[in-house]
Amino acid sequence: MAKGVCGTNYPTSICFIVVNEFCERFSYYGMKAVLVLYFLTYLHWDQDQSTAVYHAFSSLCYFTPVLGALIADSWLGKYRTIVYLSMVYVVGHVVKSVGAVPVVGTANVHIALSMAGLVLIAFGTGGIKPCVAAFGGDQFDEEHGSERQKFFSIFYMAINAGSLLSTVVTPILRGDVQCFGGDCYALAFGVPAALMVVALVVFIAGSGQYKRSPPQGNVLLEVCRCVGFAIKNRWRRSQYDSRRTHWLDWAEEKYSKRLIQEVKMVLRVLVLYVPLPMFWALFDQQGSRWTLQATRMNAALGDSFIVKPDQMQMLNALLILVFVPVFELIVYPLVGFCRIRITPLRKMAMGMVFAALAFGAAALVELNVVSTVVAPPPVGACLLQVLNLAHGDMSLKLPGGDAFQPIRYLQDPPAYETVPASGEEMKIQVSFNGNISECNFTPDQQGAYTLLVSSDSTGVHCSQATDHITKNEDGSPLLRFLNTFPEPVNLTVGAVTFQVTSGLSMSPNQTVERGRYQDVSCCLPAGRCSLLDLGLLDFGASYTVVLVEEAGVLAARRLQDVAPNDVSVAWQVPQYVLLTAGEVMFSVTGLEFSYSQAPPSMKSVLQAGWLLTVAFGNVIVLIVAEGAGLEQVGRHETQEC
């Protein structure tokens, strides 16, 4: 082989392959980083459905490598398989990006385009997965084994660099760039699509440099045929011929003893793969459940730095780059120095223990996260808070209550009260200025309401407003205004405009950016304007701002309907550290162990088996998430009955 890069034994062709892999991984992980929030906030699916579809897509991405290997080894060869399936990959990205454009069709069109795009992406990324690394290895001559080994390290670094960069960049494109009046998912999916186009162009540009091997048949297919023939032959002939020591020996009539022996070795390793899907069922939830957990946490790190929920996934790629050399150069030698024998199976077992510890840490975080969530009322009840607008202190007696409860003027209600609700009108007694009045209140079951109590010269008056007690799906604060003036009011908070009609009217809840709002302009039609101080509108909270007149000027009284997220997103770092440590011990060691235990001709079979454990792990999460969704549907139908 001629001298390659800079006069070394590295062929020039690997430069194209490494750049291609970096761009492809950026494309895949960048799209996947924002996927679950896309389902939640753009397609308006609930958390269980979003999780289920996310893991269905992930599992398909790991089932399709078997198909890609069959196509490459039996028909097209690695080069043409990579090119053709990369084209499918690009089309999938384009379709997915178009589905994220709000002006393109209805909600059903968006769902159809999104699902079609994801299926094409799964076939594209899964189909080329077993081909690219192997095609890179084919570029080296046999005498350059050390260079080939270093190439795979560079290749692995390119994967993690693409993953790290994309999980930082695409959430920024989603959240910080606004298009079509909201988060710009079209751009967040469009940039990964452009990177996949670059990956394809770069790979084709190196076509004149590649060494190409013709298809030589697929070993996996041969193994499946051998196993199938052995089972069928045993079923047919076992009644009158039982002289076989192993059930695979029933294939001797058609297949060589060498192949049968190698298949036995492979099956012994595959038996060890049985518990592996449980690790991947935990590991891959960092892109679904852990991202959803981050939306209910406080993403502010200090006064100025804010982490987006879908950016937390970059910790895994970053920690992998750190932990792989740390474990190889420091941790494993120290353990060996303590005369503890380190075997691959022990490493893998510890990896699974660390994954379990990571989810234990995640559970502890979740217990604190849910403390700021308003629990929905049970069947036959509703949630109620009372706001005193009567320019004086009053007392109020709820149905079933024993005594009147004092409520100060514009007092922020400390918490919602659970009261009976049957859809019929109920009476609430109000004591104000020595007189007792009755307010009519008509709630629906499992609703949440604010009872607005005001007064004028004719007496006490009541009205009710429907509250939104669910935290915003992307973690941003929700804000609404209550206008106590007889004229309409216009306000602008950040980039959001509020138009509040006159006469104790409440504006709808709107999403605003988290931040401190100290100079919010508020103007009445008569030209009276004031700058309002709304204070810090924090992550996850819902606020009602009452517009009142104090000392002859417009003023704002901020009330808190739902508490802000008070658990910092930094508390997710320990679970990412534990899970990534588990990945280093489990995944890297598992691949090495599989290769060392398999005969040379069967390494691709074990690679396929390894990828299938990832697929089945995602299937487990899919089943659990779908089961949770069905349970919620059944509970809802029972409540309606």
DSSP letters for 199-231: HHHHHHHTGGG---PPP---HHHHHHHHHHHHH
- Identify the bridge partners of residue 516 per DSSP, sorted by sequence position: 536
* Residue 430: closest CA among 467, 387, 465, 466: 387
Helix crossing, 314-326 with 145-175: angle to 10°?
Answer: 150
* Residue 102: closest CA among 213, 183, 193: 183
Angle, alpha carbons 424-429-434 (nearest 5°): 160
Q: Classify burial at 187, counting beta carbons within 10 Å of its beta carbon; exposed 0-12, middle 13-18, buried 19 or more.
A: middle
**Of the ranges 111-125, 415-429, 479-493, 586-600, which is most confident?**
111-125
Residue type, 70: L
What distance in Å separates the CA atoms of residue 434 and residue 513, rounded to the nearest whole number? 44
What distance in Å separates the CA atoms of residue 29 and residue 189, rounded to the nearest whole number? 11
What distance in Å separates the CA atoms of residue 383 and residue 549, rounded to the nearest whole number? 29
pLDDT at 572 over 90: yes
Would you say how long the chain is, in residues? 641
Angle, alpha carbons 295-367-619 (nearest 5°): 65
What distance in Å separates the CA atoms of residue 542 and residue 469, rounded to the nearest whole number? 8
Annotate 121-151 with DSSP letters as a single string.
Answer: HHHHHHHHHHHHHHHHHHTS-GGGHHHHHHH
- Tokens representing residue 588 in the block: 């890297």
Q: End-to-end distance of the chain based on CA atoms, in angstroms?
A: 77
What distance in Å separates the CA atoms of residue 349 and residue 356, rounded to the nearest whole number? 11
Residue 402: what pLDDT? 75
DSSP 75: I
- Tokens representing residue 227 in the block: 């196993």
Stretch among 40-49, 569-578, 598-607 having the lowest mean pLDDT: 598-607
SS (H, E, C) 453-519: EEEECCEEEEEEEECCCCCCCCCCCEEEEEECCCCCEEEEECCEEEEECCCCEECCCEECCCEEECC
β-pair type (542-550, 489-493)? unpaired
What distance in Å separates the CA atoms of residue 560 and residue 229, rounded to the nearest whole number? 70
pLDDT at 641 over 60: no
pLDDT at 60 over 90: yes
Residue 242: what pLDDT? 61
* Residue 478: closest CA among 395, 558, 390: 558
β-pair type (426-432, 417-420)? unpaired
* Arithmetic mean of pLDDT, 482-510: 89
pLDDT digits (tens, 9 = 90+) for 128-157: 988 888 888 888 877 776 777 778 778 888
Which segments of 34-103 does DSSP mark as H helices, in order?
35-37, 47-71, 78-99
What distance in Å separates the CA atoms of residue 2 and residue 246, rounded to the nearest whole number? 50
In 223-262, which ranges are E strands? none
What distance in Å separates the CA atoms of residue 588 and residue 495, rounded to the nearest whole number? 47
What distance in Å separates the CA atoms of residue 545 and residue 78, rounded to the nearest whole number? 63
pLDDT at 629 over 70: no
CA of residue 480 relative to chain centroid, distance? 29
Residue type, 350: M
- Identify the bridge partners of residue 428 per DSSP, sorted by sequence position: 439
For 43, residues 6+ apart whose C-beta sits below 8 A from its C-beta are: 107, 110, 111, 114
CA dihedral 573, 574, 577, 581 (to 10 degrees): -160
β-pair type (300-301, 305-306)? antiparallel
Q: When comparing pLDDT for 518 and 85, which is higher?
A: 85
- Tokens representing residue 581 in the block: 């440590």
pLDDT digits (tens, 9 = 90+) for 167-194: 999 999 998 888 888 889 999 999 999 9
8 A C-beta contact, residue 233 and residue 251: yes
pLDDT at 634 over 50: no
For 166, residues 6+ apart whose C-beta sits below 8 A from its C-beta are: 25, 26, 27, 29, 30, 33, 192, 195
- Tokens representing residue 572 in the block: 């997710």
What distance in Å separates the CA atoms of residue 370 and residue 367, rounded to the nearest whole number? 6
- Tokens representing residue 532 in the block: 């309002």
pLDDT at 22 over 70: yes
CA of residue 30 relative to chain centroid, distance? 12
Q: When comparing pLDDT for 453 and 422, which is higher?
A: 453
- Tokens representing residue 444 in the block: 């629906």
- Mapped onto helix, strand or coil, the DSSP state of residue 46 is coil
* Arithmetic mean of pLDDT, 210-224: 81
pLDDT digits (tens, 9 = 90+) for 356-412: 999 999 999 999 999 888 888 998 899 999 999 988 899 988 877 778 889 999 999
- Mapped onto helix, strand or coil, the DSSP state of residue 523 is strand
8 A C-beta contact, residue 385 and residue 413: yes
8 A C-beta contact, residue 500 and residue 481: yes
CA dihedral 99, 103, 107, 111 (to 10 degrees): 0
Residue 450: what pLDDT? 93
For 641, residues 6+ apart whose C-beta sits below 8 A from its C-beta are: none
Annotate 265-285 with DSSP letters as a single string.
Answer: HHHHHHHHTTTHHHHHHHHGG
Per-residue pLDDT band for 7 (boundaries 50, 70, 90) equals low
